[in-house]
Structure 1
Amino acid sequence: MAANVWLDIDDDVSAAGLPTQADCQRSIDAVLAALSITQPCSVDIRVVGINEGRALNAQYRDKDYATNVLSFAAELPEALLAELDERPLGDLAICAEVVTREADEQGKALAAHWTHMIVHGALHLLGYDHIAPEDAARMEPLEREILSALGVDNPYDDETLEEGNIAP
């Protein structure tokens, strides 16, 4: 089942190599398929600039820097969800400058890193986390499996999961 994915690119973002609507759709659909989710779903993805990324991270996580991806899971009552034709998973805010910088620093193809951030964020929307080691042990293999199905190499070969940061 394909999700309804909306892509919104902030006017302040003019980076090269941004994902297309089709790229985002493909990534979200791969996550849903890997988790055997057949219910129609929706996800909003907003590509933000460094200032908006920093402001969102400060507002919602009390961290004064832009990070690669922020996930805002939809929190709707079950009674309301039962009335909807599709399940809103939530919103992703992805900072283009951070993703570009990380791809460069890590020697990764930009398109592959964008795919990783979308998959990573979607897993957060679905309740996965990586803060505790046992949670990371559950999330990272699933990420690798989904990314492999999308033709993306293991992002954790030579690194541990890190937040992308740009200092103020």
Structure 2
Amino acid sequence: MLPCLVLSSLFALSPAWAAPAGQPAGQGAPTPGSVAASIRADGAGPALGALADNDMFDTVTDGIAAADPAWLALVPAMAPGLDADSGPAVSAALALALPLNPRLVLPLLDPGTPALDPARVCARPFMHDEVPDMKGYVRRTRAALRQVREGGLRAVRDRCLAVMGRAKSVS
């Protein structure tokens, strides 16, 4: 019995059994708090890379796509680490969040960051199966955007509406 206890103790201390970056020890999926802590500790690129390496980046994009305020709040901190893989996923997630809560999404859009550029996010950056009813998505998104009347958001709202009007659907 003693060897089993020693062996299990060694596994518990082994780095191979530690929680991946962006994920607290002893928990399954990453949380906004654990991802924020990982970004602060390691930087955006390594933190997002660790999530992707551990097949956990979908948790982040799912939270963004659901317009969860805690996940959306992480987007500016994630921006410097978005790459050719994670950037398009975040663009699509923000586009999915846009009709749900444009007042939270619009301030995140930044033409200086390719993945956050309104020209990309508002252009329906979806894969073929992400939005089965593209006409319904466009209708809902335009209606939600038209409800945004805050002065500080009007310019990005208008740019987003203009991009949506020019965008061709990929599905």
TM-score by length of 2: 0.29
* More relative contact order, 1 or 2 (CA 8 Å, 6+ apart): 1
Largest Rg, 1 or 2: 2
TM-score by length of 1: 0.29
Give the number of the structure whose residues are more often strand, by fraction. Answer: 1
